[in-house]
Chains A and B, each alone.
Chain A
Amino acid sequence: MSLYQWLLFFHVTGAFFLIGGIVIAGILNVAAIVKNRRPSEVAALYGLIRFAVPLIGAGLVLTLAIGLWLVHNAGYGYGETWIVAAIVLWVVASALGNIDGKYQRQTGELAQRLAVEGDGPSPELRARLRNPQALAISYGSGLMAFAVLGLMIWKPGV
């Protein structure tokens, strides 16, 4: 196999890790907010979300690093519209994902604390889970990753 084929494989692997991780976190997050769950249930779901974090991290590194190498290897220009747009979306999605990650970690810690303190319904936890601003940041970040996937397929401007 050529270097190009190996690079493409690792780049696609990064995309699978990144989007797969986003899907895992998204499904478990939706499962936590669709019903008024007990804090211990929310804590259990957020405990599973932590398995998606290294997947997303590895995906972010592989998609960008191998992607930039691929641009050079395949003879594209770093200033091409679809490549610049993909990098901008990658940076914004990563920044939003970072903000979301910290918020979700705090929510998970709150759920764990409430579970130990009687596991009763908590308006504070429910408000954090359904915070519209936090949800917009979370799902906006995920949608940007899907938009980058679209750019990789359509390559506008090529």
Chain B
Amino acid sequence: MLALVRPDSWNLPLFLHVLGATLTFGATATVALLGFAGLRGDPDRAVWLRGLAFWVGFGVLVPAFIMMRGAALSIVDKEYPGGHHEPGWVGVGFIVTEPGALLVIVMVILAWLARSPKSRSAVAVPWLASILLVGLAVAWFAMSAKPGS
């Protein structure tokens, strides 16, 4: 129904936003999986898995997050120029992604530090990724169901 009233020029940023969000979800889940797997077992194997978690975070999660957030800003600027009459569900997106961006930065830094065998930051990485996953689920509920609209 929305497609009937949505101008064609909004389709590309919306596609990039949804694509970025799904890539962010997948990359975050991968960081969590590699991070948890890197907490146990053979120490050399664990360090290798934690190194992979860093590269996935840095090489996939960060670009995907930027794509999601950049495209979101583009759509909001088109649909609610000047931020006027923004509905609550749009605000939920900002509430999740602003601390979410900070969480991603901290997580990637900790994942980089966790590449050292003696690092204590390794424990935090998969748990931060899990928190981000919960935040993403809240955001996709708000973005898709648009409660209150």
Contacts and interface: CB of A to CB of B under 8 A. Distances in A.
B144 to A, nearest CB: 4
Most buried by B among A24, A27, A44, A51: A27
B144 A8 contact: yes
B15 A27 contact: no
B27 A74 contact: no
A12 B52 CA distance: 29
Contacts of B25: 16, 19-20, 23
Contacts of B23: 19, 23
Contacts, number: 84
Contact of A158 (B3, B29, B48): B3
Judged by DSSP, the binding face of B is helix
B22 interface: yes
B145 A51 contact: no
Interface in B130-149: 140-141, 143-147
Contacts of B29: 20, 23-24, 55
Nearest to A145: B22
Interface residues of A, number: 36
Nearest to B60: A27
Contacts of B14: 153
B33 A9 contact: no
A156 to B, nearest CB: 10
Interface in B18-52: 18-19, 21-23, 25-27, 29-30, 33-34, 37, 45, 48-49, 52
Interface of A: 1, 4-6, 8-9, 11-13, 15-16, 19-24, 26-28, 31, 40-41, 44, 48, 51, 55, 74-75, 146, 149-150, 153-155, 158
5 contacts: A15-B22, A20-B26, A55-B29, A75-B1, A158-B3
Interface of B: 1, 3-4, 11, 14-15, 18-19, 21-23, 25-27, 29-30, 33-34, 37, 45, 48-49, 52, 56, 60, 140-141, 143-147
